Amino acid sequence: MMFWNVNEVLVLSPHTDDMELGAGGAVRMLVRAGAHVKSVVFSDCKKSVDTSKYPPDVLRKECQAAARHLGIDDLTILDFPVREFPEHRQAILDTIYRLGRETPYDLILATWKGDLHQDHRTVAEETLRAFLKRDATILAYEIPGNCPGFVPHVYVPLSEDEVREKVEMLHSYRSQVEKRGYFEINAIRSHMGYYGAQIGVPYAEAFVQEKTIIRFQRPPQ
């Protein structure tokens, strides 16, 4: 077990709901531990909304509600076109570069470079490119069902209560829960149970460690 004091955290989501699914428990824990968490979402996914049932900004509103639930007060939702991120690769890289210049981040949470969704993969690759030579740890989260071959190295244990809060937060995305049904939320719970079993706790979120720079030192006397 390693305790780590983190001050500045950048959480990158290609679409509304990505980080909530893959890292919602860890993000809440970071907020509670007093870290400043900046959450950036690259697309409000307007094109994916069924406008016969919902207003076009439904996902933006749901994402804001999920952020409030998590205690995040620094949320930016951009409007890159969903499913077209590879064509906007340079603009996405420039956006991430700019974020890195503004703040010295200790920790970046982003999607994984082996994710099958082209938008998730673009954000993962551009995050690595933008931060590789900076002193920030990069952890990649998993979107369950989208990441065959994801082998995690870093685990964040979650209690039953923390999992309950995560599931409650995911219900902020009512339009998605209605579309995909509750089954998927059960799958996410089982997924966290599976990772928990790997480290001997009831639940965990798990991450691929893309980069960490370590300095060893004596504790202050």
Task: Find the shortest distance in angstroms from Cβ 119 to Zn ion.
Answer: 6
Q: Which of 10, 18, 139, 191 binds Zn ion (CB under 5 A)?
A: 18
Q: Which stretch binds Zn ion (CB under 5 A): 16-24, 91-99, 174-182, 209-217?
A: 16-24
Token couple for 155? 């685990």
Task: Find the shortest distance in angstroms from Cβ 153 to Zn ion.
Answer: 23
Strands 137-141 and 107-111: parallel
Q: Which stretch binds Zn ion (CB under 5 A): 17-25, 42-50, 188-196, 208-216?
A: 17-25
Q: Total number of residues binding Zn ion (CB under 5 A)?
A: 3
Contact between 125 and Zn ion (CB under 5 A)? Answer: no
Helix, strand, or coil here: 159? Answer: coil
How many residues are recorded in the chain?
A: 221
Task: Find the shortest distance in angstroms from Cβ 26 to Zn ion.
Answer: 17
Task: Find the shortest distance in angstroms from Cβ 207 to Zn ion.
Answer: 17
Q: Which of 9, 10, 11, 15 binds Zn ion (CB under 5 A)?
A: 15
Q: Which residue is nearest to Zn ion (CB)?
A: 15
Which is closer to Zn ion, CB of 19 or CB of 26? 19
Q: Which stretch binds Zn ion (CB under 5 A): 10-18, 33-41, 59-67, 199-207?
A: 10-18
Task: Find the shortest distance in angstroms from Cβ 161 to Zn ion.
Answer: 27
Task: Find the shortest distance in angstroms from Cβ 59 to Zn ion.
Answer: 11
Question: Rounded CA gap, 49 and 172, in Å?
Answer: 15
Question: Rounded CA gap, 67 and 201, in Å?
Answer: 27
Task: Find the shortest distance in angstroms from Cβ 45 to Zn ion.
Answer: 8
Query: Residues 122, 43: contact at Cβ < 8 Å?
Result: no
Neighbour tally for 67: CB within 10 Å:
25
Give the N- to C-terminal CA distance of the chain in Å, as an integer. Answer: 22
CA 65, 68, 69: angle at the middle one, nearest 5?
90
Contact between 121 and Zn ion (CB under 5 A)? Answer: no
| Sheet-wide strand order for 8-15 | 74-77, 36-43, 8-15, 107-111, 137-141, 203-211, 154-158
Unique residue bearing structure tokens 């937060």: 169
Q: Is the dihedral of CA 144, 84, 24, 185 positive or negative?
A: negative
Which is closer to Zn ion, CB of 144 or CB of 202? 144
Residues in touch with Zn ion (CB under 5 A): 14-15, 18
